[in-house]
Amino acid sequence: MSDMDMDDGSGVVKKFMFLNRKAPHGTVYALEGLEVVLITAAFDQDVSLVFTDDGVYQLMKGMDTKGIEVKDFSKTYRALEGYDIEKLYVDSTSLKARGLTEEDLIVDVTVLSDDEMKNLMAEQDVVISF
Partner 1 sequence: MPMVNIAGKEVEVDEEGYLVDLSQWNEDIAKYMAVEEKVDLTDSHWEVVNFLREYYAEYQIAPAVRVLTKAIGKKLGPEKGNNKYLYELFPYGPAKQACKIAGLPKPTGCI
Q: Which residues bind partner 1 (CB under 8 A)?
A: 35, 38-39, 41-42, 71-73, 75-76, 78-79, 82-83
In the bound state with partner 1, the residue whose beta carbon lies nearer, of 25 and 111, is 25
In the bound state with partner 1, the residue whose beta carbon lies nearer, of 111 and 128, is 128
Three-state SS string over 51-120 comes to ECHHHHHHHECCCCCHHHCCCCCHHHHHHHHHHCCCEEEEEHHHHHHCCCCHHHECCCCEEECHHHHHHH
Q: Report in angstroms how near the CB of residue 8 gets to partner 1 at its nearest.
A: 17
In the bound state with partner 1, the residue whose beta carbon lies nearer, of 79 and 121, is 79
Q: Comparing C-alpha atoms, which of 59, 65, 61 is closest to residue 26? A: 65
Q: Report in angstroms how near the CB of residue 78 gets to partner 1 at its nearest.
A: 6
Q: Report in angstroms how near the CB of residue 103 gets to partner 1 at its nearest.
A: 21
